[in-house]
Amino acid sequence: MSNATNNNSGSLESKFARLGVNNSDNRPQTSRYVPPHMRAPHHQEEQSNGRGNMGSTWSKPTDRAVRSDSWQSSRSDYGRSGGWSDKSMGGYSNRPNFYERGSYGGKYARGDQDYVPRRDESQGYWKNGVHHFAARNPRIEHELFGAPEDVDRQHTGINFEKYDDIPVEASGTDVPEPITQFTSPPLDQHLLSNIDLARYTTPTPVQKYSIPIVEAGRDLMACAQTGSGKTAGFLFPVLSKLFSDGPIASAPPQEGNRPSYLRTKKAYPSVIILSPTRELTCQIYDEARKFAYRSWVRPCVVYGGADIGQQLRQIERGCDLLVATPGRLVDLIERARISLSQIKYLVLDEADRMLDMGFEPQIRRIVEQEDMPGVEDRITLMFSATFPRDIQYLARDFLKEYIFLSVGRVGSTSENITQKIEYVEDEDKRSVLLDILHSSELTGLTLIFVETKRMADMLCDFLVGQNFPATAIHGDRTQRERERALDSFRNGRTPIMVATAVAARGLDIANVGHVISYDLPTDIDDYVHRIGRTGRAGNTGSATAFFNRGNKGIAGDLIDILKEANQEVPSWLESIVRENRMYSGGGGRGGRGRGRGGSFGSRDFRKYPQQQQQQNGGDNWYRGNGGGYASDMYNSYGGGYGRGPSNTSVPVQYQNKTSWF
């Protein structure tokens, strides 16, 4: 213990010295550490002197186009009661206005099964087995694909090619050969033209494998590092097939003998993509719009917290690909506005998070209890950077003969992210944070993760009070506030955002240079996703975590993650883990052990024979129904989830984290 403390105090004191702290100001010192905002008394004066320069080395993100409007005045959207004149009124300015012209109704409007009409001028259509494309539209193209020099678009970074060095493992029967280029063998020509517009030149490893797997009609569970292109990994093969095959030929079921004026306009999408958070759902929708540009496929989006009337009007005009959060989708099904009877592709993105958030009943209802075709008659895809074992239950029920694809170690972080763990006591966190924010090394946007909504508010207020341009995003803010916050972060008006786990998954924001885990999560997978908001698409980024004894449950997993990504492991962290082990009698870790072994491996549970599962002892939750989902990857769990052998019906207990964020 003393070892850890000493190491830490050493580092704090050296910081202290480095910063030239003047101790003679006789301020009451509640801590040995002196916050930067208290160090130089004249500092505040500088700040109040007009715009100043924030009185620090803090500078506007250098590589970002600086808006001509007052940076100071747009320091934060926080606490404002309105006055936002932003035309988009939200973070997704490239989302279409749902009241676009040209409503032509849904797919079967003319009773012609092979006719998907054009719904607006940017929409193509399908007729007599031929895909007719809409004319190109420079305005929409700019809105969807931006310009090459746009700073708020993700550009591939220097390490993009290095993705190819990551080992890939694909298990299952008859795994199709990966492709090497989008053009060999080629994806649908129209999709290729949209990929060109998006300026993608080479597929990432997950795309190289997922494209032929899905095109071969196989189910897939894919796990690849954050920021490595999983979204296109499922969108490309699905859209390519839809573009070349056209709409499903079968007619939707009739609505009985109800008179036409009583019939609701029901949508019959071919693709459903479920995702856990509203922001991620919108982001996937934006990607779908890009790659479905000018085609017959019309993407739509529905998510909670937004006006359902508007979403219904959008769907009424035709919906071939629906991106949805589970709760809102159930709502629309109950209102008989969506039928799942024509679903050909079901995608579950970040499925593990959906379980964490307590969405399992809704997901099971959508997939098993409505009119969705059964597992044999649809293609089901699951994508995430982490696959904790709970998700295997869903896989067992939702997927058939699936291929398990792991790009790199399941749940590992990208080496593009430089990780640093700092020992910081709770009472020192604000000061250390200010230090980091004042550091001249900081470039780009900074995302700060905290555990509670209250803390997000408090920390944001504190930062704004310190003249930092900050905003916050969490589940207690209205959807509109969330979108505004994201928007002002994304475009650099408030280059600091304090967030709860609501922003942890999937969000792809260009130029996030630094992720700070102000509070560490209790689950290592959450840590992996959070830091994955930086270092995306081959770019580099840094992540700093504040660790103290309250986080010791995650220490062992943290060390594994650091070692795997070739990061420096602080000696005090190793001491804490050793101490933990001694304290717990040499047993496993206190937290969610990952049971890693070897330098590379997968978690395809089907690969582990039943006998081996039993040998792992205490956690043999396999099902005796021929599946054999082993748990040896999690052998440090130490039970608690015990699922008796062969078809017992002990309910699985999922930790519901919804209230946390």
Ligand X SMILES: Nc1ncnc2c1ncn2[C@@H]1O[C@H](COP(=O)(O)OP(=O)(O)OP(=O)(O)O)[C@@H](O)[C@H]1O
Draw the binding track, 494-513, toward ligand X (x: CB under 6 A; -: no contact). Answer: ------------x-x-----
Assign 3-state DSSP to the chain and report helix, strand, coil percentages, each to 5: 35, 15, 50
Residue with Cβ nearer ligand X (372 or 382): 382
156 binds ligand X (CB under 6 A): yes
DSSP 3-state assignment of 477?
coil
482 binds ligand X (CB under 6 A): no
Identify residues 355-394 at the interface with ligand X (CB under 6 A): 385
Among 125, 200, 527, 547, binds ligand X (CB under 6 A): 200
Should residue 411 be labelled a site residue for ligand X when binding is judged by CB under 6 A?
A: no
Please identify, using beta-carbon distances, which residue of 55 and 538 lies nearer to ligand X: 538
**Among the listed residues 96, 229, 299, 535, the single contact to ligand X using CB under 6 A:** 229
> Quick one: which of 91, 117, 388, 532 contacts ligand X (CB under 6 A)?
532
Asked if 573 is part of the footprint of ligand X (rule: CB under 6 A), the reply reads: no
CB of 507 to ligand X, least distance (A): 7
Q: Which stretch binds ligand X (CB under 6 A): 369-377, 531-539, 555-563, 611-619?
A: 531-539
- Minimum separation from the CB atom of position 641 to ligand X (A): 25
Assess contact for 149 and 157: CB atoms under 8 A. no
Write down the least CB distance from residue 508 to ligand X, Å. 4
Give the residue with the Cβ less far from ligand X, 533 or 606: 533
Which string of DSSP letters, residue by residue, matches 265-304? --B--SEEEE-SSHHHHHHHHHHHHHHTTTSS--EEEE-T
| Closest of 215, 300, 248 to residue 126, by C-alpha | 248
The interface region with ligand X, picked from 115-123, 197-205, 455-463, 619-627 by CB under 6 A, is: 197-205
Q: Closer to ligand X by CB, 324 or 573: give it.
A: 324
Contact criterion met (CB below 8 Å) for 412 and 482: no
- The correct pick among 3, 7, 53, 154 for binding ligand X (CB under 6 A) is 154
The Cα 220–Cα 6 span in angstroms is 49
Query: With binding defined as CB under 6 A, does residue 413 bind ligand X?
Result: no
Backbone torsions φ then ψ of 364, nearest 5 degrees: -65, -40
Residue 197 CB, shortest distance to ligand X, in Å, is: 12
- Collect all residues with Cβ–Cβ distance below 8 Å to 226 and sequence separation of at least 6: 385, 413, 414, 528, 529, 531, 532, 533, 535, 536
Q: Which is nearer to ligand X, 40 or 198 (CB)?
A: 198
Concatenating the DSSP letter of every residue in 225-246 gives -TTS-HHHHHHHHHHHHHHHH-
Which span (107-115, 219-227, 366-374, 458-466) binds ligand X, by CB under 6 A?
219-227
Exposure string (b/e) for 172-211, b if CB count within 10 Å is 16 or more? beebbebbeebeeeebbebbbebbebbebeebbbbbbbbb
Site for ligand X contains 406 (CB under 6 A): no
Q: Which is nearer to ligand X, 4 or 272 (CB)?
A: 272
Among the residue ranges 11-19, 88-96, 230-238, 329-337, the one whose residues contact ligand X (CB under 6 A): 230-238
Shortest distance, CB of residue 227 to ligand X, whole angstroms?
Answer: 5
Q: Among 121-129, 196-204, 320-328, 398-406, which window interacts with ligand X (CB under 6 A)?
A: 196-204
Binding mask 595-634 for ligand X (x = CB under 6 A): ----------------------------------------
Shortest distance (Å) from residue 323 CB to ligand X = 13
As given in the structure block, the two tokens for residue 520 are 């560490």
Does 445 bind ligand X (CB under 6 A)? Our answer is no
Tell me the DSSP string of 536-599.
-TT--EEEEEEE-GGGGGGHHHHHHHHHHTT----HHHHHHHHHHHHHTTT---SS------SS
- 232 is a contact residue toward ligand X (CB under 6 A): yes
Stretch near ligand X under the rule CB under 6 A, chosen from 200-208, 405-413, 580-588, 611-619? 200-208
Q: How far apart are CA 200 and CA 195, in angstroms?
A: 6
Q: How many residues contact ligand X, by CB under 6 A?
A: 21
Under the binding rule (CB under 6 A), the answer on residue 117 touching ligand X is no
Please state, in angstroms and rounded to a whole number, the distance separating the CA atoms of residues 567 and 235: 33
Q: Residues 8, 76, 204, 567: which binds ligand X (CB under 6 A)?
A: 204
Strands 321-324 and 299-302: parallel
DSSP-derived secondary structure for 107-172: TTTTS-TTEE---STT--EEETTEEEPPPP-HHHHHHHH--TT-TTS----TTTGGGGGS-EEEES
Report the residue from 203, 237, 388, 495 that binds ligand X according to the rule CB under 6 A: 203
Considering only 123, 228, 467, 488, the residue that binds ligand X (CB under 6 A) is 228
- Using the rule CB under 6 A, is 124 a contact of ligand X? no
Strand, coil or helix: 513: strand
Q: Is residue 290 a contact residue for ligand X (CB under 6 A)?
A: no
Which residue stretch of 56-64, 94-102, 493-501, 530-538 sits at the interface with ligand X (rule: CB under 6 A)? 530-538
Contact 510, 366 (CB under 8 A): no
What is the 3 state secondary structure string of 342-378?
CCCEEEEECHHHHHHCCCHHHHHHHHHHCCCCCHHHC
Whichever of 357 and 460 has its CB closer to ligand X, that residue is 357
Residue 146 or 247 having the CB closest to ligand X: 146
Identified binder of ligand X from the candidate list 536, 603, 623, 657, rule CB under 6 A: 536
* Segment interacting with ligand X, rule: CB under 6 A, options 161-169, 228-236, 364-372, 409-417: 228-236
CB of 196 to ligand X, least distance (A): 11
CA-derived radius of gyration, the chain: 26
* Residue 484, beta-bridge partner list: none
Q: Determine contact, residues 459/448, Cβ cutoff 8 Å.
A: yes
Half-sphere exposure of 67 (CA within 13 A, CB side): 16
| Residue selected from 55, 90, 205, 227 as contacting ligand X according to rule CB under 6 A | 227
453-465 vs 429-438: helix crossing angle, rounded to 10: 50
Closest CA to 516 of 502, 499, 493: 499
56 vs 275 by CB, closer to ligand X = 275
Which residue, among 477, 541, 546, has the nearest Cα to 509 in the 3D structure? 541
Site of interaction with ligand X (CB under 6 A)? 154, 156, 200, 202-204, 207, 224, 226-232, 385, 506, 508, 532, 536-537
